[in-house]
Structure 1
């Protein structure tokens, strides 16, 4: 690979739907030189550093910060200082997105492979490892629930507010979750317990250590993706760009951080194991993923079909019974043993905790949005509460999701790649239709789907959606979905970034700035007046 830097012009060769360079009609296909994108990686890294700096004043900061809370820099969290911090943070986000889109253009033009994309993702994630939480405060809930388990308080029966010790951790838990039981699997609470056992009441150390532990999931995912690509037919650079270097992973999953990252590690390695006929290992790994984040269970019935189609003989009913019974047995053993190791007993109270996230209501979940729209229209005529409308709409959404699940599962009976594709689509549908819909939930199915072939126009849609999903919440972790001017600006920026993947500078903004003025001539690459 050549060591020249990426071009300032940043104009890729046209690409076909498969992602390979494509010649214009009537012309010979020209070989695009391979280049290492130093400038693009540096741009994203600078953006990540700005995210870190801006988060000190505008991110998920501590109630009582021992570092800058009362020091000479405390002004960044109030008044004009906070406005400046937000500006720095969003500028950093813009640079990361710009770098990601540029990287995508180089990838589609065939100028880079997967290695520069992996290096870029690592450089962009690096500064965020020590950042305050970005666009969420969930990590403080993780620490609070781990502290409960560490000190003998059942996190599935009580909220962190009932914990009388470790006040720094407890006071930073979001008010919604102060009195709410944990909605996470017992294995993740065991991980959180271990983090708190090491860091104690030091919340900053707890956040950083949580990120480092969750990186194990990222490492497993990065290990599995090249192998999944070989099975599922995608292109590794595209997969890495979508699943690893995306702002959804860099900013939400790592910058957040979110335990979905660890679940995805178990899920991707488990799916790979089943495709490679290591069925027992695969089912066990995905079950462990469920003990991190329960929604991984959606994948299990689809993996049964893959196993069925790997068995010899033409008697599909017998094969289904054999694979299904074995899968249930593996699931039961891992589920019971994992729960017992994590909690010290077979405490199934965590299953009832799954309803806790439904306290979150916003229109990102379509059924909630429909319920709120109907309520608004009815409320114009008569004074009624909102909850019945949202509840009925959500119930209908659950029914629709159940029907979708059954149809996809039945159509997945051919096994192989078809079953994995329908599994990924069902995980995406679960994230969208099952309330609540939180932006990082869409990574559940998306990471697996990234290993399939992609058309470039679909990649452009992903760019726009990813930008919207990151900006759907303010850097503090509060939702921005009812700030309509902010939403309009976010959508406009997403559309512009999506178009920029396919055509650099789609509105001609940079070109107009660079265009020589009338009455000027170019001399030696510079513009000189006559």
Structure 2
């Protein structure tokens, strides 16, 4: 059998006559076909289609938005010197000029807030040129340039919005010195140790909640930097950037596969303020976990055929099993960074089951394979880095923190206040414990539902993955803003509806401004926040006015109907909903389609949310 791009090909003579094959959903047999032609596109039938480049005026507008956001990134970088989560032994205090920022925290906070709002505004303005409904869309090269400009100033600053990198250093040093980080906390090093003084008190005596591979990598970092805190933070941030680079490489490829314009996926999933503030600025290890999870999916899908509901299963492709095993192994490695990635194995198994007939038997076969691969790789990595399965005990560590932005924790604390008011006593801890269990059960039920619905072609498995992981994150008592990136990034590559993009954009903007840059609630000096935010807001309004004066079209451009792929309307919304329910690309590779003639939509450029043709 030969593969071609958008053309019919005859079977090679050595293949012999065409054999009867079964078609129809869920394996229902159909009459034998005598045709000897196959239709095998080299890209997904749901491919979003190639778009035209931006005009000269649009490119100028994008460059102005890039510059606007770059100034914001610089302001955030300078503000972080006085308003960030600086180390206790801060090397900036010895540098002329730069040390002034630490002495004027309110001004530094205002500068940081100015930078935050400018980056958020720049991201929103850039999104106007990344909408999938446009005929002309910003290119990937321009988005890569934007990311470099916005990220570069944040690489060499102290941690912002969090003190977690100091926890990474302390727990990694525990392993470096031969102790078990899943039994003791950083305080085992001594509270006067330079790698401990920056750790928040709540985490000094707690075991590590991270996977064994991450802690082993961290021990290599502390082995290189020793007690040099700033050097250790920089290396952890570089490790984060490696994970982010993997996401930048993988996300457009998955978006192509699932019918979302790559530029749209990059804008929402990578240029997102949550990524800039918390992944880059906060140096969180989530980037490495998410990147490896997506890489595993991309590798595993590399040889699987594109499938439309009702297609008959094609013959097994060369190397298909090897790529499946490699993909599942990479996803398991991601789980040894952060365990959340393990959910992807379930939905990857659904994709494999749908590659055949999508029956329960196929699902059980795929699940058994995923389980074996996971067990072997997880055991090999855990014992290979010199640890054991005691790391599972540390998974409950984050529940020690009741985050005020977590819905579960807020409901529990309101219940505690109500109990005190009614004279029943303070039972906040008990209420939150019960709510935490109920939340885990609810998230598990959501995951099972989407696994089942994905198996029956009601949702794309990638959408099910994003929603399921997002449910676990959102319902956790210690939910943090950057945790939702585990949901936003996979959904950015697979959810094609504007409703999701609007919701994800709104959530990203709100969550991006909830936490101050130093990662603390400013206890005892709450007046600092409104003062800094008010001053910063005035400056940002002035900057936007200057941008409007230089290029009014950037802020108030009129939408020309000729620039859209098609005019909006009720029919379009209906097609969107059908596209979400009926996945055309649950797997990847090439479609085997016994037919006399090639369908027009197969392998061709399809529009944003229009379901591809079916046999």
SS in 2 for 1:167: coil
CA contact (8 A) 1:231 1:417 kept: no
Residues 1:371 and 1:135: Cα distance change in structure 2 (over 3 Å): same
Matches within 5 A, 1:183-194: 183-194=209-220
Identify the structure with bigger relative contact order (alpha carbons < 8 Å, sequence gap 6+): 2
Contact 1:264 1:444 in 2 (8 A): yes
Q: How many residues align?
A: 468
* Paired residues of 2:106 and 2:528 also in contact (CA < 8 A): no
Q: What is the match of residue 344 of structure 2? A: 299
Quote the residue 1:242 is aligned against. Answer: 268
Structure 1 match to 2:401: 360
Q: Deviations over 1:279-330 (max 9, x none)?
A: 111111110110000111112111111112224xx59354334322221111
Verify: 1:53 aligned to 2:81, yes or no.
no
Q: 1:91 maps to which residue? A: 114
Deviation at 1:246, TM superposition (A): 0.9
Superposition pairs for residues 350-429 of structure 1, below 5 Å?
Answer: 350-382=391-423, 383-414=425-456, 418-429=460-471
Report the Cα distance in structure 1 between the residues aligned to 2:511 and 2:245, rounded to whole angstroms: 24
Deviations 1:151-208 (A, max 9, x none): 1111000000111498211111111111110000000001111111111111111111
Q: CA deviation at 1:238?
A: 0.9
Q: 1:464 aligns with which of 481, 506, 509?
A: 506
Contact in 1 for aligned 2:325/2:373 (Cα 8 Å): yes
Q: Does 1:40 pair with 2:65?
A: yes
Q: How far apart, CA to CA, are the structure 2 residues paired with 1:416 and 1:400?
A: 20
Query: Could you give the per-residue CA deviations for residues 358-406 of structure 1, whole angstroms, max 9, x where no partner exists?
Result: 0111242222111112222222221424212222222221221222122
The residue that corresponds to 2:568 in the other structure is none
Q: Give the SS at the match of 1:130.
A: coil
Decide whether aligned partners of structure 1 residues 430 and 461 sit closer, same or farther in structure 2, where only a CA change above 3 A counts. Answer: same
1:231 to 240, 252, 257: 257
Partners of 1:133 and 1:233 in 2: how far apart?
A: 36
Contact conserved, 2:259 with 2:496, CA < 8 A, in 1? no
Q: State TM-score, norm by structure 2.
A: 0.70
CA distance in 1 between partners of 2:159 and 2:203 (Å): 16
- Structure 1 Cα separation of the partners of residues 189 and 500 of structure 2: 47
In structure 2, runs of 5+ residues without a counterpart are 1-47, 305-322, 553-615
For structure 1, list consecutive stretches of 5 or more residues without a partner in the other structure.
1-17, 22-29, 515-530
2:156 corresponds to 1:130: yes
TM-score (norm. length: structure 1): 0.81
Cα distance change, pair 319–484 in 1 and its aligned pair in 2 (3 A): farther
- Aligned equivalent of 1:441, options 479, 483, 486: 483
CA, structure 1 residues 236+404, in 2 after alignment: closer, same or farther (shift >3 Å)? same
Find the aligned partners of 1:262 and 1:317 in 2 and give their Cα distance. 33
Aligned counterparts of 1:63 and 1:484: Cα–Cα separation in 2: 24
| Structure (1/2) with the larger helix percentage | 1
Moved more, 383-392 or 261-270: 383-392
Residue 282 of structure 1 corresponds to: 327
- Rounded to whole Å, the distance in 2 between the matches of 1:416 and 1:401 is 19
Shift of 1:69: 6.0
SS at match of 1:168: coil
